[in-house]
Amino acid sequence: MKITEVTTTELYYPDAQPTQDSTTPAPLSGRGQLFIHLHTDEGYEGLGVCQSSPGVRQVVEYGLRDVLVGRDPFATERLWEDMFWRVRGYGRKGVAFLAISGADVGLWDLKAKALGLPLYRLLGPYADSVPVYGSGGWTNFSEAELLDEMTGYVQDGIPRVKMKVGKDFGRSEREDIRRVEQVRRAVGDDVAVYVDANNGYYAKQAVYMAREFEHSQVGWFEEPVLADDIAGLAEVRRAVSVPVATGEHEYTKLGFKELIAGGGTDIVQPDVGRVGGVTEWMKVAHLAQSFNLPVAPHAVQLVHLHLACAVPNLKVVEYMNTSLETDAIWYTDFPKQQGGTWSPYPDRPGLGLELDPYAVEKWAV
């Protein structure tokens, strides 16, 4: 089997719920997704799921297409290396790696479809279902909206929730503390509450805030400081009892080697759409396991559902209302969580996802 063509579809839904975290200057409205189609001479088509940031589509079409066309899609290790070296001069992180990640996801979807297996079965399942946490709690939400979303997850049977802190680039400390306290009271003592600062604090400030959040028994403190500040992450991690979670803005196993060896995290959060796709995500998960650390993947939840089923050191999978909103538009169907656990479709090959033709016609860029 050979790859005969690589095409892309970019969709954009302008009416998506506006969201804001600590380090976005204003609420972001509208949401997009880039899809990479890998066509073959045997009729199988791989679907890559990719972040639709500016420039990603151009890297796929003008930087990676000729690396992939004419090649054997089962040679994922070789293809990954060839894509990596193709972007060496302009993209060892960032936009070019979003493109590589999406293409690699498409290769694994293609391989699994050709073999007639769900992706998690091809990877070698550790479990057939995984725990999830309800994620959101954006800083632009009013307190009433925040509590409504958090308790809504609990009413849906999810015993773990995550909310944003670090509002206004870390300048609203008292409000952060009050909002966390209110969520704890609203969901009760038996629900895990995670907080995510999205890089919004500096190290000493993060230590102070973590000690305040400890009074609400938070389960982890995510991205307390700038993702590149490994020394600051390590400082926070050493000073507080709340586990530090980070990694969504890290790229490749090399970046995670520095993060973990530098003592910057207790919970490793690779993002399949940034780290380098399925190929690299699995290596990072095993790297974390070698340090006896759990993984809790960031976003891209319909892909991570499969990967999470294939690793023994999974902690929990992110399950976001904002993603559910647009996934319901992009796809004809996808599995939903039940009672706080989530399972891939056991009888659909690959990712088990199919783009809705109506969405492609209506929302294509």
CATH code of the domain containing 238: 3.20.20.120
- Say whether both 175 and 110 belong to one domain: no
pLDDT value of residue 29: 87
Q: What residues have CB less than 8 Å from 297, skipping those under 6 apart?
A: 269, 270, 271, 272, 281, 304, 307, 308, 317, 318
Q: What gap in Å lies between CA 268 and CA 338, rounded to an integer?
A: 25
What residues does 163 pair with on adjacent strands?
Answer: 195
% helix, strand, coil for the chain, step of 5: 45, 20, 40
Rg (CA), the chain: 20
What confidence tier does 14 reach under pLDDT thresholds 50, 70, 90? very high
pLDDT value of residue 170: 97
The region of weakest confidence among 2-11, 24-33, 39-48, 132-141 is 24-33
Number of domains in the chain: 2
How remote is the C-alpha of 76 from its chain's centroid? 21
Whether 93 is covered by a domain: the verdict is yes
Q: What gap in Å lies between CA 89 and CA 86, rounded to an integer?
A: 8
- Say whether both 127 and 31 belong to one domain: no
For residue 92, which amino acid is it? R
The region of weakest confidence among 89-93, 185-189, 353-357 is 89-93
Whether 351 is covered by a domain: the verdict is no
pLDDT value of residue 167: 97
Q: With the C-alpha atoms ordered 200, 204, 209, 215, is the resulting torsion angle positive or negative?
A: positive
CATH code of the domain containing 76: 3.30.390.10
- Say whether both 50 and 166 belong to one domain: no
- Say whether both 14 and 41 belong to one domain: yes
pLDDT value of residue 348: 98
Per-residue pLDDT tens digits for 164-204: 999 999 999 999 999 999 999 999 999 999 999 999 999 99
Q: Which of 165, 173, 172, 174 is nearest to 136 (CA)?
A: 165
What residues does 6 pair with on adjacent strands?
Answer: 38
Whether 255 is covered by a domain: the verdict is yes
Bridge-based pairing of strands 218-222 and 317-320 is unpaired
Q: What is the mean pLDDT of residues 308-328?
A: 97
Tokens of 343: 């399972």
Q: What is the mean pLDDT of residues 48-61?
A: 96
Q: What is the mean pLDDT of residues 340-364?
A: 97
- Report how far apart, in Å, the C-alpha atoms of 321 and of each of 93, 102, 169, 182 are: 28, 22, 23, 20
- Say whether both 245 and 173 belong to one domain: yes
Q: Which of 270, 236, 232, 277 is nearest to 250 (CA)?
A: 270
Q: What gap in Å lies between CA 265 and CA 227, rounded to an integer?
A: 11
- Say whether both 217 and 196 belong to one domain: yes
- C-alpha triplet 181, 185, 187: angle, nearest 5°: 115
Q: What residues have CB less than 8 Å from 343, skipping those under 6 apart?
A: 128, 129, 130, 305, 309, 335
Whether 219 is covered by a domain: the verdict is yes
- Say whether both 228 and 325 belong to one domain: yes
Say how many Å lie between the first and final Cα of the chain, rounded: 31
How many Cα atoms occupy the beta-carbon half-sphere of 220 within 13 Å? 23
Give pTM, 2 decimals. 0.96
Per-residue pLDDT tens digits for 59-73: 999 999 999 999 999
**Strand intervals (E) in 212-329:** 218-222, 244-246, 267-268, 317-320
Q: What 8-state DSSP symbol labels residue 215?
A: G
Whether 347 is covered by a domain: the verdict is no
Return the SS3 of 223: coil
Whether 348 is covered by a domain: the verdict is no
Residues found in the chain? 365
Q: What gap in Å lies between CA 114 and CA 76, rounded to an integer?
A: 14
- Say whether both 110 and 134 belong to one domain: no
Q: pLDDT over 70 for what percent of the chain?
A: 100
The answer on pLDDT for 334 being more than 90 is yes
What residues does 130 pair with on adjacent strands?
Answer: 342
- Say whether both 85 and 135 belong to one domain: no
User: What is the domain range of residue 87?
Assistant: 3-116+356-363
